[in-house]
A and B are shown apart, each in its own frame.
Chain A
């Protein structure tokens, strides 16, 4: 009995460290993304290139939906609803892939190339760095899904799921700022 209490205490201490560590990493990553936003405003000023507005809105909504399904997966695990948990993770992966498709196929396939002055550089820099994080999130979700399928998480002990979920929300959070910075702010220049 005391053994399991000790394990539980250890788990709690580790959980506390892990949470603080992950949030400090978010803080650090925020400086990276703030640096990219600063670059955008430094180089683009109050202008932006003409981009496909519909595509921008659609990928934003898709990413928002994926954040919701991720939250749903975590909630389901806490409620001991394994089926919803696993399915929601898969839906999140699909939505994440849709987002990537929207960015890579439709945005990068548009009329702007990476080498086209500050417009090309910043557009591809912002979406590329964000897409890199989306890819990392998708890999993370697949790992968690695989481990979840094998029953490694319980409603009490599931730091892996929690980390994966807030990492995914963080990727969405970055897009919350990148979407207006890319598509809405400033004067569209043709």
Chain B
């Protein structure tokens, strides 16, 4: 095997690995982010066939339904996403306090970080505001 062939093969391997790995990672990331950030369902890889009506009133109704559905999806996505955002922030703060402790941080500083984390949990996860609401909704 000549040197140039080896170079060719090596380049091809690197290309395949990077592109393939990149695509694979992207798919994984996409699926994962859909799971974590999306509406909680695996996305359809093959889009559903949509039959668009032609009669004018039906078109209007179809568009309204489409809008409502999109809004509902958006609300659902937002609800799930806020939980994930809180998770990411809390994890980052935990990592931050761990690293800062290696660097050197005072007890007071650690307490401040813990208080920030606690405030986030109490507000976003425990919905403390509902205590002061007059018993409506969950």
B interface residue count range (under 10 / 10 to 19 / 20 to 34 / 35 or more): 35 or more
Q: Which residues of A contact B138 (CB under 8 A)?
A: 78, 155-156, 158-159, 162
Interface status of B90 (Cβ within 8 A of chain A): yes
Q: Which listed segment binds A: B19-27, B50-58, B117-125? A: B117-125
Contact assessment for A185 and B107 in the assembled complex, using a CB-CB cutoff below 8 Å = yes
* Known A57-B98, A61-B94, A72-B83; contact A16-B134, beta-carbon cutoff 8 A: yes
Interface string of B88-132 (1 = CB under 8 A from A): 001100100110010000010011011001100110111110110
Interface size on A, residues (CB 8 A): 42
> Complex Cα distance A64/B79, Å?
18
Q: Which residues of B contact A84 (CB under 8 A)?
A: 40-41
Interface status of A180 (Cβ within 8 A of chain B): yes
Contact assessment for B135 and A15 in the assembled complex, using a CB-CB cutoff below 8 Å = yes
B-to-A contact residues, CB < 8 Å: 39-41, 76, 79-80, 83-84, 86-87, 90-91, 94, 97-98, 101, 107, 110-111, 113-114, 117-118, 121-122, 124-128, 130-131, 134-136, 138
A-to-B contact residues, CB < 8 Å: 12-13, 15-16, 19-20, 23, 46, 57, 60-61, 64-65, 67-68, 70-72, 75-76, 78-79, 81, 84, 155-156, 158-159, 162, 165-166, 169-170, 172-173, 176-177, 179-180, 184-186
